[in-house]
Chains A and B, each alone.
Chain A
Amino acid sequence: AGPMPKHVAFIMDGNRRYAQKCHVERQQGHSQGFDKLAQTLRWCLNLGIREVTVYAFSIENFKRSKEEVDGLMDLARQKFSRLLEEQENLKKHGVCIRVLGDLPLLPLDIQELIAQAVLATRNYNKCFLNVCFAYTSRHEISNAVREMAWGVEQGLLEPSDVSESLLDKCLYTNNSPDPDLLIRTSGEVRLSDFLLWQTSHSCLVFQSVLWPEYSFWNLCEAILRFQMNYNALQKARDSYLEERRRQQMERDQAYVTEKLQQEGCASHGDSRRQRTLLQKCRAMREERIQGFLQALEHKRADFFERLCTVSA
């Protein structure tokens, strides 16, 4: 056996084609799809995969017929309500539920259900289910940049604090490691605006099976591919991070050198002075970033808490 993925992401595609194939209503296809999700989560847990992220509803899906969108929202209402009824089970298995997306786009009552589920399970940590709902990756990335801009406007951040790693921390997925493995079913070979930033070095597996027909064997096949790719991906990731570190170091050095030059020629050649100033700048940046991230965390918790007091 090889290493197991710690975090698997799914694009659960094929519900409608499955419905067509079986001559049932689309709504049935989506309902079967949900059952398959529940089953797949159990398989993942049995295999020791503790974090799963799924693409449940894209912002693009709002373009579907009113009938279908309403049907999907009803399904969501049903399932989130059920989830809240299962609180004992969630507690027992330590399941932390997160819902990622542009939640204000959703009907208010669904936002409230989501807030309840998220707040009820936020301290559980045995396993994690991230549901992307009213989500697209571009919206997520733009939101992250907007948050950093907000931080600058609030005087919490300097523009030069903006970096890849800070952007990582501003995404909806900031509490999760990048997915090791991304699986898309139904034969489509595209990412459809899902976790574009986070999966840049993930193992991508495209499988032709329709989602409601997904089997344990399909899951094992995908994990096998992950294992076959493991070394190459580790290597690529490591060299990418190394290069990123190197470039950040260069930028910091350049900043420090310039700063010292401004102070006068005498000190800029002094390497000890350089090191001290570098350390100081880094420490100050780290402090700003911590302050900003705390404020961001606060803003997000506030959003959910306010939704819960509305329904109380």
Chain B
Amino acid sequence: RRPGAATLGRQRWRSDGRALQKLPVHMGLVVTEEEPSYADMASLVVWCMAVGISYVSVYDHNGIFKRNNSRLMDEILKQQQELLGLDCSKYTVEFANQDKADQVLNCQSTLKVLSPEDGKADIVKAAQNFCQLVAQQQRTYTDLDVNVLDNLLSSTNGFPDPDLVLKFGPVDSTLGFLPWHIRLTEIISLPSHLNISYEDFFSALHHYAACEQRWGK
């Protein structure tokens, strides 16, 4: 189920990624199950990084991953070593605690662990900040349009909008995951993240690669 580093080199993962017609630039991993599994989420994150997905976000509506961020990071480091044979002395793996963004930097991938406060609450915060500027007469209300508001949001600083969300669990809802940012996101549902296999993960990526987007045209 989980190929070990002994049998597969990192080359195989990268070529898997390249074999797809398109890869998401930002992948959202959304868990709707009540009890999240750190080991399985860590596998998913590491697989994302291995196939070459640049931005990964992890979300559960109870904010469990966010509250237990360090436990998740430990699992990820462990799996990076197991699956990719990464030697930590060779790569700079940084745990950056900047504001609310928790990022693990690894060669080419960045990770954020998100919760509901990064959704509507972040939009409200941006709105409050803008209104504060209006109160101080530094802005007028007509200054605010879609782009201005987009730039005021901070929960996904530096990340593009998610192209793909893999949603795990029986609940048919995004449960508050980044409502603003998912306007064009493909949402692929999988029954569970528990004991998820690389094959299931990859087949979802394959499904995504095949979908056509018309952009309203």
Contacts of A240 in B (CB 8 A): 61, 116, 176
Interface set, chain A 137-152, CB cutoff 8 A to B: 137-139, 141-142, 145-150, 152
Whether A229 lies near B149 (C-beta < 8 A) is no
Q: Known contacts being A58-B216, A61-B216, A145-B127, is A229 close to B187, with CB within 8 Å? A: no
Q: Which residue of A lies closest to B120 (CB)?
A: A164
Q: Known contacts being A142-B146, A189-B188, is A162 close to B131, with CB within 8 Å? A: yes
Residue A21, interface by CB 8 Å:
no
Interface set, chain A 190-212, CB cutoff 8 A to B: 190-193, 196-197, 199-206
Whether A64 lies near B217 (C-beta < 8 A) is yes
Contacts of A153 in B (CB 8 A): 134, 140-141
Q: Which residue of B lies closest to A162 (CB)?
A: B128
Which of A63, A163, A232 is the one whose CB lies under 8 Å from B217? A63
Which among B35-43, B74-82, B106-114, B167-175 touches the partner chain?
B167-175
Whether A236 lies near B187 (C-beta < 8 A) is no
Name which of A147, A159, A160, A203 has the most chain B CB atoms within 10 A of its CB: A159
Whether B175 lies near A201 (C-beta < 8 A) is yes
Whether B146 lies near A139 (C-beta < 8 A) is yes
Contacts of A63 in B (CB 8 A): 215-217
Whether B174 lies near A200 (C-beta < 8 A) is yes
Whether A229 lies near B171 (C-beta < 8 A) is yes
Residue A243, interface by CB 8 Å:
yes
Interface set, chain A 18-62, CB cutoff 8 A to B: 58-61
Which of B128, B145, B173 is the one whose CB lies under 8 Å from A142? B145
Whether B175 lies near A236 (C-beta < 8 A) is yes
Residue A167, interface by CB 8 Å:
yes
Whether B173 lies near A192 (C-beta < 8 A) is no
Contacts of B135 in A (CB 8 A): 152, 158-159
Residue A245, interface by CB 8 Å:
no
Residue A282, interface by CB 8 Å:
no
Which of B123, B184, B211 is the one whose CB lies under 8 Å from A192? B184
Tally inter-chain residue pairs, CB-CB below 8 A.
149
Bound form: Cα–Cα A158–B170 in Å? 42
Residue B24, interface by CB 8 Å:
no
Whether B216 lies near A192 (C-beta < 8 A) is yes
Whether A232 lies near B170 (C-beta < 8 A) is yes
Whether A196 lies near B141 (C-beta < 8 A) is no
Bound form: Cα–Cα A197–B120 in Å? 7
Residue B209, interface by CB 8 Å:
no
- Render B30-59 as a binary contact track against A, CB cut-off 8 A, 1 for contact: 001000000000000000000000000000
Residue A157, interface by CB 8 Å:
yes
Residue B157, interface by CB 8 Å:
no
Contacts of A200 in B (CB 8 A): 119-120, 173-177, 179
Whether A149 lies near B128 (C-beta < 8 A) is no
Whether B130 lies near A149 (C-beta < 8 A) is yes
Residue A277, interface by CB 8 Å:
no
Bound form: Cα–Cα A136–B61 in Å? 25
Whether B144 lies near A145 (C-beta < 8 A) is yes
Residue A233, interface by CB 8 Å:
yes
Bound form: Cα–Cα A189–B208 in Å? 10
Residue A93, interface by CB 8 Å:
no
Residue B185, interface by CB 8 Å:
yes
Contacts of B32 in A (CB 8 A): 232
Contacts of A139 in B (CB 8 A): 146
Whether A232 lies near B179 (C-beta < 8 A) is no
Whether B172 lies near A157 (C-beta < 8 A) is no
B80 to chain A, nearest CB (A): 30
Bound form: Cα–Cα A60–B213 in Å? 13
Which of A142, A163, A193, A196 is the one whose CB lies under 8 Å from B149? A142
Bound form: Cα–Cα A144–B217 in Å? 26
**Other contacts beyond A146-B144, A148-B131, A188-B211: 7, CB < 8 A:** A61-B217, A147-B141, A153-B140, A159-B131, A167-B127, A192-B183, A197-B179
Q: A residues near B, CB below 8 A?
A: 58-61, 63-64, 136-139, 141-142, 145-150, 152-153, 157-160, 162-164, 167, 188-193, 196-197, 199-206, 225, 229, 232-233, 236, 239-240, 243-244, 247
Query: Could you list 11 A-B pairs, sorted by A, with CB under 8 Å?
Result: A139-B146, A146-B142, A152-B141, A164-B121, A164-B124, A188-B211, A189-B188, A196-B179, A200-B175, A200-B177, A236-B173
Q: B residues near A, CB below 8 A?
A: 32, 61-62, 116, 119-121, 123-124, 126-128, 130-132, 134-135, 139-142, 144-146, 148-150, 170-177, 179-180, 182-188, 211, 213, 215-217
Interface pairs A-B: 7 shortest CB-CB = A60-B216, A149-B141, A159-B131, A193-B183, A150-B141, A145-B127, A159-B132
